[in-house]
Structure formats: C-alpha cells, structure tokens
A and B are shown apart, each in its own frame.
Chain A
Amino acid sequence: GENVEQHPSTLSVQEGDSAVIKCTYSDSASNYFPWYKQELGKRPQLIIDIRSNVGEKKDQRIAVTLNKTAKHFSLHITETQPEDSAVYFCAGLNDYKLSFGAGTTVTVRA
C-alpha cells in the first residue's frame, strides 16, 4: 500500500515569513494529493489539493507543488498569519484510499 512521510513534525515561523512542509510517497500509482488543516479538537479541513497531471497549484497565500518523478509534494504558505497556526496533514490517494502523513504542527509567532 501507499506510505506517506511528512517533514518536519513541528515548524515555528515568524509572522509574515513563509512556511514549507514536504511529503514523500511510495506508490507511483497515487494520483491525488490533498492537504488538510486541523485545529485543535476540530475536523480536518481541505485547504488545497493537486492531481497527478498538474505540477503546481496556487490559491492566494497557499501553493502546492508536485514532483512525480521524485515522488514528493510540498505545501507552501506565504505571508503567514497567526490564524495559520494548526496541524497540517498531507495525503496521497491510491486505490480509493487516502494515506496520511503524520502531520506538521505549525506555530506562527507574532
């Protein structure tokens, strides 16, 4: 099955700086890669996703890049704000199942 690894596990950034989270996946058949944001005690919320036929996607301050050859994808958050503080999960879809990374706790320092 698919194995998704996520780094770093924690990330502290100064407000206004950028944050980057990286994930690798093992199964080249995986074709869909969503990113979720989860605040404490709440449900994960989709923030951006990318399909395997696209190399990059951007939505305001959030962007995702995908390198199929190297089997890795990254989340980029620019101009970070305090409300960006949360746990972020990457995932890869293979055979109708999502495999999740272990999560990155992002703290934005004011």
Chain B
Amino acid sequence: DGGITQSPKYLFRKEGQNVTLSCEQNLNHDAMYWYRQDPGQGLRLIYYSQIVNDFQKGDIAEGYSVSREKKESFPLTVTSAQKNPTAFYLCASTRGGSANTQYFGPGTRLTVL
C-alpha cells in the first residue's frame, strides 16, 4: 500500500468552495476507488473506476465528481453541492478483476470552516 499517495493530508474548505483531492498510484493497478469515512462509521463508496476514461457512481456520489484521464491518477472534487463534506477521504486501488485486495492510501482529512 506504500504505492498509493494522497494529498494533501489535511484540507480546509470554506463554504461554497470546490476542492480537489489527489490520489496517485504506481502499482499499475487498473481499478481505483474513493471512500468517505465519518467518525464511528464504516467506509462508504463515492466513485470507482475500472479502467481509464471510465468511472461509476458509488453509494454516495451526490456532490462529488471524479476523472480518470491516466491509469495512475484518480482525483476527487468535492463540490459546493456537497452539504456536509467534513470527513476522512480514502483512496484505494486494486488489480483488475474481482476478488483482489484493495490497498488504501493514507487519506485526506477535509474540514469545512
């Protein structure tokens, strides 16, 4: 999992701002995922991408957007439409196909001021 990086580690957003969280992997993994984690809760899937230039909504996609222009990069934009964005955001990746281990990045903690 050391091959997945996320930046920044901490991010502060003002009301009405869009912010973009970075996720990069050098594991040559095909699939990438974004999760949101709230205190005392499990991980909820925001978006995922199985291949370049293709992505699907997860369970809580409203107020978020993604792009997958390169295999190694899967940035997440938290838009002003997301009314409660304060959370810990985790990116993960896995080799193509099912039943493969997902490896997580170190996470970005987003706080709305």
A residues neighboring B (CB under 8 Å)? 1, 6, 31-32, 34, 42-46, 49, 51, 89, 93, 96-103
Within the complex, the shortest CB–CB distance from B92 to chain A, in Å, comes to: 8
The answer to whether A43 touches B50 (Cβ under 8 A) is no
- Nearest chain A residue, comparing its CB with the CB of B48: A97
At the interface, is chain A mostly helix, strand, loop or mixed? strand
At the interface, is chain B mostly helix, strand, loop or mixed? loop
Q: A6, A31, A49, A100: which contacts B98 (Cβ < 8 A)? A: A31
The 6 A-B pairs at the shortest CB distance, nearest first, are namely: A100-B42, A32-B99, A43-B104, A100-B43, A102-B42, A44-B104
- Chain B positions within 8 Å of A44 at CB level: 43, 90, 104
Q: Given A32-B98, A98-B45, 8 other A-B contacts at CB below 8 A? A: A1-B59, A32-B100, A43-B107, A89-B43, A96-B48, A98-B43, A99-B45, A101-B42
B residues neighboring A (CB under 8 Å)? 1, 31, 33, 40-45, 48, 50, 58-59, 90, 98-107
A82–B107 alpha-carbon span in the complex (Å): 25
A99–B42 alpha-carbon span in the complex (Å): 9
- Write 15 A-B pairs (CB below 8 A) sorted by A numbering: A32-B98, A32-B99, A34-B101, A42-B106, A43-B1, A43-B107, A44-B104, A46-B103, A49-B101, A93-B99, A96-B48, A96-B98, A97-B58, A98-B43, A103-B41
Within the complex, the shortest CB–CB distance from A73 to chain B, in Å, comes to: 14
- Chain A positions within 8 Å of B101 at CB level: 34, 46, 49
- Nearest chain A residue, comparing its CB with the CB of B96: A96
The answer to whether A103 touches B104 (Cβ under 8 A) is no
The answer to whether B1 touches A93 (Cβ under 8 A) is no
A31–B97 alpha-carbon span in the complex (Å): 12
- Nearest chain A residue, comparing its CB with the CB of B42: A100
Q: A6, A34, A51: which contacts B102 (Cβ < 8 A)? A: A34
The answer to whether A89 touches B42 (Cβ under 8 A) is yes
- Chain A positions within 8 Å of B58 at CB level: 97
Q: A34-B101, A43-B1 are in contact. Are A96 and B106 (CB under 8 A)?
A: no
A103–B104 alpha-carbon span in the complex (Å): 16
Q: A51-B99, A100-B43 are in contact. Are A45 and B50 (CB under 8 A)?
A: no
